[in-house]
Amino acid sequence: TTHWVLQIHYNSGTAQTGTDQSGYELCTTEELRPHDAGVLAFGSTKFSIPPRSTHTITCDYELGKEFDGVKLFNASPHMHTFGQSMSTERLPGGDGAPQMIFEQKNFSFEAQANYPITGTLARGDVMRTRCSWKNPGDTTIGFGEGTGDEMCFDFIGYYPNIPDRTFLGLPVFTWVTPSANARCTTD
């Protein structure tokens, strides 16, 4: 059995209720491509944006052998309302000259989209993602799913899909592993 999940987030600052004009299209085919695709989240789930500040983190994730020959085809940057900019670079062999994979200098929560990219990955490469935010308020902002929280995910479409791995029922590798296990520093 195949199940599809459509997730839509609403944030009404004035607590309005009712309907809107949201919609979606779903396209199917019987002519499958040779490889299944997947999505990886590069960035971080571990950050804290101080009050009244502009804050940037840089997160590195080293690719294992399962990434040899993986092809990249789209980027979907995702932050919330405090997001200012995001970029993802590939450092060949972990310390080679950075190659820009995707950059959005003026992130807009209201205009999120998918962007075409190209790239091929190899074991030992490092994916470096930078997220910048501006927090004009008086409280610290951290990671979370609410609009008043923040995120730092560059969702990268790739193929062939790398299957999830578990050990004793615990996840070892999933789509969010690059963000959960990235080494991050504050700029």
| Spatial separation of the C-alpha atoms in residues 38 and 175, rounded to whole Å | 8
pTM over 0.75: yes
- CA distance linking residue 104 with residue 91, whole number of Å: 18
Please state, rounded to an integer, the average pLDDT across all residues of the chain: 92
The number of C-alpha atoms within 13 Å of 55 and in the hemisphere containing its C-beta is 23
The angle subtended at Cα 50 by Cα 44 and Cα 55, nearest 5°, is: 55
**Which is more confident, 7 or 29?**
29
Closest Cα to residue 74, out of 108, 119, 14?
119
79-88, 150-159, 166-175: least confidently modelled range: 166-175
Number of H helices, E strands in the chain: 1, 13
Taking the C-alpha atoms of residue 58 and residue 64, their distance in angstroms, rounded to an integer, is 20
pLDDT at 11: 67
Amino acid code (one letter) for 27? C
Give the pLDDT band of residue 178 (cuts 50, 70, 90): very high
